[in-house]
Structure 1
Amino acid sequence: MLDHVFLTVSDLGRSTAFYQAALAPLGVTDRLDYDGRDGPPGHPDLKGLGAGGRMFLWLRAGEAEGRAVHVGFVARSREEVEAAYDAALAAGAVSNCAPGPRVHYDPRYYAANVRVK
């Protein structure tokens, strides 16, 4: 089980705004600004996103490396998948695959895929 994920992004402000908008329909509404000076020497400043007071998606500024990461978020319903997909597109993402069943993974699996420009 994963505890957290760090994503290196080229535009921290734009990326933070995108993930806040795209993940809000999934209940990911908590935010935390972590000052790297509070950590060990050399620790980067981070923007944390999460739910229930727990941050699990951390963004840090740096050189982004194309398609180096694929992250899937859990939704409680098909409606949440569709709402998150719509929110991601409205926030500037590009569709990789519209919401729908993915029976090649599991007969119950329903997902949508987006790519951040």
Structure 2
Amino acid sequence: MIDHVYISVSDVEKSRDFYLAALGPLGWREFGSFDASSAPEGVPDLLGIGDATYVAGGLGSSIWLRQRKPSETGLYVGIVCDSNEAVNAAYAAAITAGGIDEGAPADRTYFAPGYYAANVADFDGNRLEFVHKAWNEK
């Protein structure tokens, strides 16, 4: 299951209005933002739009809008993992397959307590985040 997608946009507010209008009939809404000032370098400011399940704290989907950097390309997709061990296994498999390390498995408490993730990039700069959220336990 896809947990979240980062979409790099040229104008966050204009894109916010577009995505809210387009996804509103499907029950999606803005639910908050993330200020990266207290996060590690490279973590962007984000504006969150989610489906009703995600917004209610369940296992749903979200889009995070971020300001595009000059010449930035590629996609960023968060993939749901059932456990921290699954995050570790997916990360190890991706690195073995030639993926580029962009963050070894670790707690990412700057996002939320119980947020455990690892990041890799492929050969074209597309990024995967393997993520286990403790609050989504089955």
Q: TM-score, normalised by structure 2?
A: 0.42
Higher strand share: 2
